[in-house]
Structure 1
């Protein structure tokens, strides 16, 4: 049976593999006229419009009132509110220590982030990069160069990724949206920290009093203000 090169999922037919691959490539057949989200069939689009844009969904979460596409989607969503979901054993990337709830997603992460070309290695610190442009941007940090300029305020950055994040301050773009409340964020990390407010997760502990916090910055601020630790 054919297997997806990206996520290693096994499909029952060649046509199934083609349809599956389109999801990774985001080759959508139809798009929502309200929010431009893409779908691969009109049935999925119709479910999306009914649940997100018309208020007609019959499958609404009794905890946060979020509408879902169908009974299965609602069941999967409600699981995210449980303590068991928050405390599920996680698999961790040995390279960057990022955690995942499923081995499948760890494999996708490893293939995207850590399968690197040995040609792109920094001569100064030994760091491996994904591409020639990535190595060039990395070298800018060593050289103190900031060639990527913001067109709005003129501030310079060593790499294009940091410039893109900075530009969101000017545009107001917040692509990372909380699925529980209405808040949105410019960076994925900010959303991750925010979600801990909903789940109650406080993984960062004060080494002096043991109190937990949602992020390292909040924990450090607590230690500095309450325990006089810099």
Structure 2
């Protein structure tokens, strides 16, 4: 009857929170006491709610009971599949009240709102730099660490990206138990072998429902979908410019920082982009891979060939 009457007789003495069930108040009180009575028997992780422990255990069992009926994507948390479905429906339920921006995930809206408020909750412990996104702080910290943020305590391996460390820690000893029967490629994770095998089979299980584009990896499809939705979730903290891919933001940030991590080993000249270094190397090697099909002209830079072709087509700027 409390559901119909909206009666909430159980109140928190700390913050005034009220609810209709005593069990809900018991759970709420753990936010104040920090109590975590539910523990994982595998790794010792503890949590305040039994439901959270159920989700955690799936990280050990690999269980993914929730599936997408459109593409077969599966996950351990029902809320994740709800968010995933928006990649198919194009639904963007979270809208900014100050501009026309809208997005599929609430976390994206939270980040976007900082472009209006100017809030920068992430601060560098070394210098006075602060930013609105955690990823930007991670990128900034590489200026202090020389690019290596994550280290393996077993072998001393270090890297700039957490996924790279996770890949490395797959065995902790450098062991690569998963091998390709076609070419002998080996890796530490089964998922990496699954992705690799698609090179041989040509399998492209991830398909775009809009234009029919297909690819071998889900991450490629996620990026492709942004060509239809126009979504640009990666924001520049300095000038507000946005990008559909994180790598493009990384390159853009160097226009502000002046960072040039790609250096020529022959003359010491450095560049902000790897592609620029590749073009530069042709000045040492004399290699001219771009050849005109009409005459014998060849060049080291593709854009030069495009300009040259205008001589044959009669095209003018």
Q: TM-score under structure 2 normalisation?
A: 0.43
Match of 1:37 in 2: 107
Q: How does 1:60-209 map to 2 (within 5 A)?
A: 66-69=118-121, 75-77=128-130, 86-91=143-148, 98-99=159-160, 110-111=165-166, 114-115=169-170, 121-124=179-182, 125-128=184-187, 130-131=189-190, 135-209=193-267
Q: Does the CA contact (< 8 Å) of 1:138 and 1:158 recur in 2?
A: no
Match of 2:293 in 1: none
Match of 2:29 in 1: none
Cα displacement (A) at 1:169: 1.9
Q: 1:98 to 1:183 in 2, by over 3 A?
A: farther
CA RMSD of aligned residues (A): 4.8
* Larger RCO (CA under 8 A, 6+ residues apart): 1
Cα distance in structure 1, aligned partners of 2:160 and 2:122 = 29
Deviations 1:98-151 (A, max 9, x none): 426xxxxx5x8634774269775433333336455x543431111233343332
Q: 1:219 to 1:129 in 2, by over 3 A?
A: same
Q: TM-score under structure 1 normalisation?
A: 0.55
The number of equivalent residue pairs is: 184
Q: How does 1:9-20 map to 2 (within 5 A)?
A: 14-15=35-36, 18=47
Q: 1:143 to 1:218 in 2, by over 3 A?
A: same
Cα displacement (A) at 1:207: 3.7
Cα displacement (A) at 1:227: 6.9
> Which is greater in Rg?
2
Cα distance in structure 2, aligned partners of 1:84 and 1:188 = 17
Which sections of structure 2, spanning at least 5 residues, go unmatched?
1-32, 37-45, 57-76, 80-93, 97-101, 132-136, 289-317
Q: Secondary structure at the match of 1:140?
A: helix
